[in-house]
Chains A and B, each alone.
Chain A
Amino acid sequence: MSGWRLSSGGRLIDRSQPLDFSFNGRPLQGLAGDTLASALLAQGVDVLSRSFKYHRPRGVFAAGWEEPCAFVGLLAPRSEPNVLATTEPLVQGLHAFGQQGWPGLDPMAWADWLHRWLPAGFYYKAFKSPAWAWPWFERALRHAAGLGRMPDRPAEPVDHERRFAHADVLVVGAGLAGLWAARALAEAGARVILADDAPQPGGRWLDRPAGGEVDDWIAQTLQALDACPGVQRWANTQVVAQHDHGLFVAIDRSRPGQERLWKVRAPHMLLASGQIERGLLFADNDRPGVMLAGAVSSFVGRWAVAPGRQMVLATNNDAAWTAAFQAHDAGLPVRVLADQRPEVHPQLLHQAQQRGLRVQLGSSVVACRGRMRVRSVALRDADGRTEWHAADLLAVSGGWSSALALHAQAGGASAYDPQLHGMVPSAGPAGVPIGAAAGHQDSARVLASARQGAQQVAQALGLKLPPLLLPELASQSDGCSAIAWPAPGQGRVFVDLASDVTLDDVALAQREGYEAPEHLKRYTALGMGPDQGRTSSLNGALLMAQLRGLPPGQLGPTRLRPPYTPLPLAAVAGFEPGELIRPVRRTPITAWHEAAGAVMYESGQNWRRPGYYPRQGETLAQALERECRACREAVGLYDSSPLGKFEVTGPQALQLLEHVYACRLADLKDGRGRYAVMLREDGRVFDDGTVFRLAQDRWWITTTSGQAQAVHAWLEAVLQIHFEGRLQAFVTPVTDQWAALVVCGPRARELLAACGCSIDLSRAAFPFMNLRTAVLSEQLVRLFRVSFTGELSYEIHLPAGGALALWERLVDVGQNLGLAVMGSEANHVLRVEKGFISVGHEVDGCINPLDLGLAWAVRMDKPDFVGKRSLQRDLAQPQGRAQLVGLLVPEGDLPLEEGAQILRGEHGAELEPARALALEQASAGFVTASVFSHALGRAVALALLEDGAARHGETVWVTASSLGRLARRPAQVVAPVFFDLDGERMRG
């Protein structure tokens, strides 16, 4: 029962609003404006949690985001593990519990008793034998490891807001320097965003008693700031990440559980984030009651909480003396003020003397006693004598260092400042540090650096700063000395409280060769805790330098990465997007497909297309048979609207097309078209489709629906890069503007005629691979005689708006003709029967058109086209490549599996598992498509087989997975076409 609430003071609390909360089931009271930690300290709670590895009792070490240990589990107002008590605002009805076992009696406390066998990295060395025991060890270790306990239920989803902001300059931190610079720049006309993670601006000055010249100046500055247009002032908002090109991420925690994420673009940033304090190294320096001196100031000044009843201050720098003065003035007795330096600034001695404080110079703290709370502190004086002092609060300060995480995230350089004994960032593209963040502690220097930084930014923006005066504030001394390093082996000296890394661990890492700070971090876990090593990683680097005999600062701290503090994933996700997380593209007919009960598949680029239309009680196989038979025997109808479509126009459009397609197009007349393949420069098939000549200088090309964007990019690249924009040719993507409905089957003509078609549809008047404009069912359409199914087929193109009406008409009239609506499954069967290739199956990006049997679509006598040079090489070396073949299994057998491998001449029925591993070397090809053909009454397949064109008639072995074991089946290699070999049906 050490901490207590002071009767006056406390800038952030409202004494008229008491709040009830509980910790570990114990009902407690706090005040509005408290954090959970300040309220717990005020109620005399000493131990908040147990440490990560050794389960030692821990209290509160710091007052804000640099706190390494005080992580608690929240039950109310929300269920969340690993909540930082020093930053979580207290609310009415808050329930929290200590993590890592009971703060009182912890069954895992044996980890501390056995610490000699559990140094850093023990899991790399121990538990290797006996090998059979490892699963037991692993279970035990996993149970012991980790931080926090998952809630029983997932949290209710809450929408989190995501906002965007633009500014000329982002000022990070609203302390003295940030406020001055923000005002100066705002009055100069810049758009300024000033962000600070505290509820009120003021920075370090929030620790001091309210009232006084600084508070007046702050109030004045805020007034001036708020009067400027173009200023945004954010409280409770922490800038957590700096990315490239001035992109910052900030998180507004005004309402925990409903955080707001900001993405800010600001070409300039002033880093006014202040400094972070670190502790001293001595035996048992992790006990509850050992606290940073600055944290004592914060608890006294912000929340009117005295964290103990008898304080000892141990330090090596001037700034920490303020904590002792402030504590004394607030009524918290300070027994000894120990500074390890033999001499300090006379002003400090005077102030101490005024208050009647006992000062011991040349004194260091060497140990403290007390398991659940500090009871006494050992100080060793300049003569080497050690004296024990009774105290329950040991305020320590080992030095300060710039809070430069944002700067470091963007790769900004920093250097060790021998005056500050801490890291200081250098100005550069990663931001301009000002104030304490630039290494200054004296107010005059802080403000001078703020002016310098603001001037730099104003110049870059082409603005002129107003003649603002720097306020005359009382100066503070800012001396510091290096930390005294105890020798290894003198008790449990903690360097990193979050990960339980001791001085002995650092020495161990150095002995074992993990000497670089990045290795030290990964070997010992120093700096890996949720605090990102804020109070520990610099001490670790300095200690390692000392152990290695290097000058301090030669080893910098490790790389920092965003975010600075933990972000709830829900805040990153923003509003619950629902289906919008992956918007689906729809054709004019999609709603009709869904209403007709189609099973919808994802297809191509975000399309959702019908796979098949099962009637009442039909299986996939039954629906498939019905749809395929209808197409081959009567008439089928399907929606091909996602087909990629482009108009290519201009006097030199033909030149563009001749360049990108492998076939000849110059001889096409108006209204005629050709199947064409588009190659890449390496001769591999990129896409296939059709090219039609609408008129001179006006061409119509179609592509695979999934490649529409890729083809667009390619055509534009050829026009702009290869032809350097000189070609008079223009490409217009019209995929979404034109719907495409396909009517196919022996009765296709009848169907179109029955709907009212204005042109002669006979074979003589409208042959295969021709295009006609017509009025069909009172709509103006383009009819293309192209066939993907191998039947008589008309692709009807019309503006999307009219498509549904035409579709419904076709379905209606088609009822009398035996029409069935077909999905992609039926299409797949029909095209495999015909041996038509499909991008994504046979065209896998690694095959040239010759090996696909499309030599007739390649004109090597063209002077040049994309892929020609590579095809020349392929022609010169015809052996050893996969070629398209058909595969037949004995009649009555099930189809082969798509993706099954074709083996090189193995024998036997079963493959042993060991041999299965060598499958890659044993494979001579694979099955690309395999279906049951209703037209033929047997299973057929297409495959890519090495040198397959010369192997027709051979029997090959194809893998088959059966009952989880790999088996193989024989199949006969045949030509890749099974139905209507001479194509009479589609030409009909």
Chain B
Amino acid sequence: MLQIPCPHCGLRSEHEFIATGEFNPRPAQPEALDDAAWADHLYQRDNPDAPVLEHWWHLHGCRSWLMVRRDPHTQVILESRAVGQGT
């Protein structure tokens, strides 16, 4: 069981969170994208073999959405910050 460092609540068990996957920001101008580019945003993820930014929601805590960078090999959490509040 992982422990996720929540910037507000401290180190908490992963049971308190819901993980929703790779960070995939909504394009600023969806209507400017053609169908292929829009489908790419909707359905494609990079999924690299490297630490990526992902979203975790602290449902059973402060209910903040967190941006977490996790190494998929060692499970080490490299960074964890609340969205929209800088680093």
Residues of chain A having any CB pair with chain B under 8 Å: 243-247, 265, 411, 429, 681-682, 709, 713, 716-717, 720-726, 864, 868-870, 872-873
B48 contacts partner chain A, Cβ-Cβ < 8 Å? no
Query: How far is B85's CA from A428's CA once the two chains are assembled, in angstroms?
Result: 34
Q: How far is the CA of A723 from the CA of B26 in the complex (A)?
A: 10
Other-chain contact of A724, B2, B35, B83 (Cβ < 8 Å): B83
Query: Interface of chain A, helix or strand or loop or mixed?
Result: helix
Q: Beta-carbon contacts of B44-80 to A below 8 Å, as 1s and 0s?
A: 0000000000010101000111000000001110000
- Interface positions, chain B 27-46, Cβ under 8 Å from A, are 30-31, 33, 35, 38, 41-42
User: When A244-B1, A716-B65, A869-B33 are in contact, do A726 and B84 touch as well, CB less than 8 Å?
Assistant: yes
Measured CB to CB, the residues of B under 8 A from A are 1-3, 18, 20, 25-26, 30-31, 33, 35, 38, 41-42, 55, 57, 59, 63-65, 74-76, 82-85
> Across the interface, which residues of B come within 8 angstroms of A716, CB to CB?
57, 63, 65
Residues of chain A within 8 A of B64, CB atoms compared: 720
Closest to B63 in A: A716
| CB–CB A870/B84 < 8 A | no
Q: CB distance B84 to A720 under 8 Å?
A: yes
B59 contact set on A, CB distance < 8 A: 709, 713
Let me know if B35 and A682 touch, CB within 8 A: no
Query: Judging by beta carbons under 8 Å apart, are B83 and A681 in contact?
Result: no
**Residue of A245, A411, A725, A864 with highest tally of chain B CB at under 10 A:** A245
Is there contact, CB below 8 Å, between A713 and B33? no
Are A869 and B31 touching (Cβ within 8 A)? yes
Considering only CB atoms, which chain B residue lies closest to A430 in the complex? Answer: B74
Q: Would you call A717 and B65 a contact (CB within 8 A)?
A: yes
Q: Are B65 and A720 in contact (CB-based, < 8 A)? A: yes
B1 near A873 (CB under 8 angstroms)?
no
Contact (Cβ within 8 A) B18 A713: yes
Complex interface: chain A residues within 8 A of B57 (CB): 713, 716-717
B2 in contact with A244 (CB, 8 Å): yes
For B35, the closest partner residue in chain A by CB is: A873
How far is A869 from B33 in the complex, measured between Cα atoms in Å?
9
What are the residues of chain B within 8 A of A244 when measuring CB–CB? 1-2, 75
- Nearest CB of B to A619, in Å: 42
Q: How far is the CB of B8 from chain A (nearest CB, A)?
A: 12
Knowing A429-B74, A713-B57, A717-B65, the reply to whether A868 touches B30 (Cβ < 8 A) is yes
Q: Is there an interface contact between A864 and B30, defined as CB atoms closer than 8 Å?
A: yes
Q: Which of A246, A720, A722, A873 contacts B26 (CB 8 A)?
A: A722
Q: How far is the CB of A39 from chain B (nearest CB, A)?
A: 40
Task: Give chain A residues whose Cβ lies under 8 Å from the Cβ of B38.
Answer: 869-870, 873
Q: Give chain A residues whose Cβ lies under 8 Å from the Cβ of B2.
A: 244-245
The verdict on A247 contacting B65 (CB below 8 Å), with A681-B42, A720-B84 known, is: no
Chain A residues with CB under 8 A of B83:
720-721, 724-725
Bound Cα distance A256, B81 (Å): 46
Residues of A within 8 A of B35 (CB): 873
Collect the chain A residues with CB atoms within 8 Å of residue B25's CB: 721
A508–B83 alpha-carbon span in the complex (Å): 59
- Residue on A with the closest CB to B11? A245
**Pairs A–B under 8 Å by Cβ, sample size 14:** A244-B1, A245-B2, A411-B74, A429-B74, A682-B42, A713-B18, A713-B57, A720-B83, A721-B65, A721-B84, A722-B26, A723-B84, A868-B31, A873-B35
> What B residues does A870 contact at CB under 8 A?
38, 42
CA of A720 to CA of B81 in the docked complex: distance in angstroms? 12
Closest Cβ neighbor of A709 among chain B residues:
B59
- Measured in the bound complex, the distance between the Cα atoms of B30 and A723 in whole Å is 15
Residues of B within 8 A of A868 (CB): 30-31
- Smallest beta-carbon distance A658→chain B, Å: 15
Give the shortest distance, in Å, between B61 (CB) and chain A (any CB). 12
Nearest to A872 among chain B residues (CB) is B31
- Given A716-B57, A724-B84, A864-B30, output 5 extra A-B contacts at Cβ < 8 Å: A716-B63, A723-B84, A868-B30, A869-B30, A870-B38
Known A681-B26, A869-B33; contact A243-B18, beta-carbon cutoff 8 A? no
Q: Are B1 and A245 in contact (CB under 8 A)?
A: yes
Chain A min CB distance to B82 (Å): 7
What residues of A have a CB within 8 angstroms of the CB of B82 in the complex?
720
Residue from A245, A717, A725, A864 within 8 A of B3 (CB atoms): A245
**B19, chain A: closest CB distance, angstroms:** 11
Interfacial chain B residues near A681, Cβ < 8 Å: 26, 41-42
Q: How far is the CA of A205 from the CA of B52 in the complex (A)?
A: 49
Q: Which residue of B lies closest to A869 (CB)?
A: B30
Query: Which of chain A's residues have a CB closer than 8 A to the CB of B1?
Result: 243-245, 247
Min CB distance A250 to B, Å, is 15
A245–B75 CB distance below 8 A = yes
**Chain B residues near A411 (CB-CB < 8 A):** 74
* Whole-angstrom CA separation of A726 from B25 in the bound complex: 16
**Which residues of B are found within 8 Å of A726, using beta-carbon distances?**
84
How far, in angstroms, from A722 to B26 measured CA to CA in the complex?
7
Tell me, in angstroms, the Cα distance from A709 to B59 when the chains sit together. 9
CB of B67 to closest CB in A, whole Å: 9
